[in-house]
Amino acid sequence: MITAAATTSGLPRIALGDWVESFIDWVTATFGWFFDQLKTILVWCYDQIDVVLSSPPFWVVALVLAALAFWAKGWKLGLGTLVGFVVIDVVGQWTNAMDTLALVILASVIALAIGIPLGIWAARNDVVSSVLRPILDFMQTMPAFVYLIPMVVIFLTGVVPGIVATVIFALAPGVRFTELGIRGVDKEVVEAGHAFGATDGRIMRQIQLPLAMPTIMAGVNQVIMLSLSMVVMAGLVGAPGLGRDVIASLQRVNISLGFEAGLSVVVLAMFLDRVTSALAARAPVSKALSAASV
């Protein structure tokens, strides 16, 4: 639809936003049954993860996460993780932090479950890569808050719009880094695999994916960090966790609440970033490259 109101250039204004709104209304009305089922599944999955993280005593979860950090990189990261989670607890943000961590875990798993196969497909098919590239560009450049608007229309408020918006927002790095890693594998190595009679599937599993693992793990790291940033903003639509307190502190101009919630987000971000980076460094290819550079 072209409206009569002119733009600053004198051309008639195209009501693109109205078209998008009509499309969202149509999708909501047509596929409401599907979204209801999806909402039920996502709420159940979130509740299970949240129970695992929130039900045990604080010290049990803190020690388990610290042990994970110790296994990933060493005693320094393990000790730093334990101190960081103790700080979260003493400022009264432990429950919110676990709610946020549950959101990040669920959204990241879904984003990676979609993104890595898409990246593999794009690496093996130039047409798919060409189609996905502008879509991913759009997803990465669209302001994060905009994703929340249609999600609220479709799922109302609560945890589900936050999860779905986070998956959309964090999906792109998983696709891009997977494609980049597989395309970056030396073609001579792949040709050698073909020369020995290996099938395409076997070459993908035993040659391309292992060699691309450091790059793929970098994408995993980015997906997790983007998920964390988005679930905080999802507090605007009623998603539980630290984002709710961050938004509340802004609305009430409550410096103390904002600092405590923000500090807790920083601790979670550092933990997730360091652990995923350490796991990437533990990949056999990464170890071989490190040994070769010494």
> For the chain, what are the domain ranges?
15-285
Q: Which two tokens stand for residue 207?
A: 């040659």
Q: 3-class SS at 8?
A: coil
Q: How far apart are CA 217 and CA 198, in angstroms?
A: 25
Q: Does the pLDDT at position 69 exceed 70?
A: yes
- The residue that leads in pLDDT, 127 or 200, is 127
Rg of the Cα trace of the chain?
Answer: 22
- The residue that leads in pLDDT, 190 or 69, is 69
Judged by average pLDDT, the poorest of 44-53, 147-156, 255-264 is: 147-156
- The residue that leads in pLDDT, 170 or 232, is 170
The number of residues making up the chain comes to 294
Q: Does the pLDDT at position 153 exceed 80?
A: no
Return the pLDDT at 83: 92
Q: Does the pLDDT at position 215 exceed 60?
A: yes
Return the pLDDT at 113: 93
CB neighbours of 232 closer than 8 A, spacing ≥ 6?
Answer: 100, 241, 242, 243, 246, 265
User: Which architecture, in CATH terms, is 15-285?
Assistant: Orthogonal Bundle (1.10)
- The residue that leads in pLDDT, 215 or 21, is 215
Q: Which DSSP string do the residues of 212-276 spell out, in sequence order? A: HHHHHHHHHHHHHHHHHHHHHHGGGGT--SHHHHHHHHHHHT-HHHHHHHHHHHHHHHHHHHHHH
Query: Which residue is associated with the tokens 């796991």?
Result: 279
Q: Does the pLDDT at position 109 exceed 90?
A: yes
- Please compute the mean of the pLDDT values over residues 118-140 and round it to a whole number: 88
pTM above 0.75, yes or no: yes
Return the pLDDT at 210: 82
Return the pLDDT at 236: 76
Helices 94-124, 32-54: axis angle to 10 degrees equals 130
Phi-psi region of 74 (alpha: psi -120 to 50; beta: other; left: phi over 0): left
Return the pLDDT at 158: 79
Q: How far apart are CA 193 and CA 205, in angstroms?
A: 12
Q: How far apart are CA 66 and CA 123, in angstroms?
A: 37
Q: Does the pLDDT at position 2 exceed 80?
A: no
- The residue that leads in pLDDT, 181 or 10, is 181
| DSSP letter assigned to residue 13 | E
